[in-house]
Amino acid sequence: MLKEERFRFILEKVKSQQKVLSSDLSQELGVSEDTIRRDLNELANAGHIHKVHGGALPRSPALLPYKERESYAQQNKLEIAKKALNLVKQGQVIILDGGTTTLQIARLFPENLSVTVFTNSIPVAFHLADHPSIDVVLAGGKLLKYSQVTLGLETIETFRSIRADICFLGVCSIHYEVGLTVPNREEAQVKQAMIASAAQVVALATAEKIGTAETYIASSINEVDILISDTPVSAEVSNLYKDKGIEVW
């Protein structure tokens, strides 16, 4: 089998099964594990997969700059936000993570909602600045212009100083074994602080991000209480997360 044919086989397998093992690929393709490792390294270097010890996982769809993401899959994100809004109650302290899906939640907050929102998202804070009855706390720190969020120790300390009722997390990648992952180490650290400070953690993920993985771990899968997606998740995939004690919406 030619290398290009092996690549196609591997990519299809990763996509359909959400992970592959080098030993299995070696047997199925009739080549050595050294050959498979080289193939996986090449595919990983090209950004097609996320290589892990003994195999590989899918990568999240390529991240666009924030302004471009705002117009991408808007209806999908709106569907997620509508579901998430059912969890919001008067008087809560809410953490809204950065991301275009959490911005959709902020846009749906009714005028009579009285809550306190902690966020590291510049667009979320800017939008809620005009809300008549929501107190907004913007966590200071270094601005990551690409994502329009704040990062660093000052941001982390803001979240460490509170005990929120609920945290809505924008998800780059979520995998039933690996957990929540992101491509930026400092973003992972901020998400870790958010998660540790909330009584309930809600992961917001469009379907294409479920079953993928990136480089830096923001949380284990067991720290997530609810996973909300835009489209119904198949029973097979849903059960992988339900078996971890997660509600799937």
Instruction: Identify the CATH number of the domain in which residue 17 sits.
Output: 1.10.10.10
Residues 189, 221: one domain?
Answer: yes
3-class state of residue 218 by DSSP? strand
Write out the residue range of the structural domain in which residue 27 sits: 3-58
Residues 26, 132: one domain?
Answer: no
Last residue of a domain, one of 58, 80, 102: 58
Residues 195, 219: one domain?
Answer: yes
Angle at the Cα of 135 from the Cα atoms of 196 and 169, rounded to 5 degrees: 35
Burial of 121 (0-12, 13-18, 19+ CB in 10 A): buried
Residues 160, 213: one domain?
Answer: yes
Residues 15, 105: one domain?
Answer: no
Residues 44, 88: one domain?
Answer: no
Residues 12, 88: one domain?
Answer: no
pLDDT of residue 201: 98
Residues 51, 80: one domain?
Answer: no
3-class state of residue 179 by DSSP? strand
Phi, psi (5° rounding) for residue 96? -110, 110
pLDDT of residue 61: 60
pLDDT of residue 90: 98
Residues 102, 148: one domain?
Answer: yes
Residues 171, 213: one domain?
Answer: yes
pTM for the whole structure: 0.79
Domain count, the chain: 2
Supply the CATH number for residue 210's domain.
3.40.50.1360
Last residue of a domain, one of 33, 58, 83: 58
Residues 193, 235: one domain?
Answer: yes
Last residue of a domain, one of 22, 37, 58: 58
Of 193, 188, 209, 198, the residue nearest 80 (C-alpha)? 209
Residues 96, 48: one domain?
Answer: no
Per-position pLDDT tens, the chain of length 249: 778 888 888 888 887 777 788 888 888 888 888 888 888 888 888 777 878 778 888 776 656 556 666 656 678 899 999 999 999 999 999 999 998 999 999 999 999 999 999 999 999 999 999 999 999 999 999 999 888 999 999 999 999 999 999 999 999 899 999 999 998 999 999 999 999 999 999 999 998 889 888 889 999 999 999 999 998 888 988 999 999 999 999
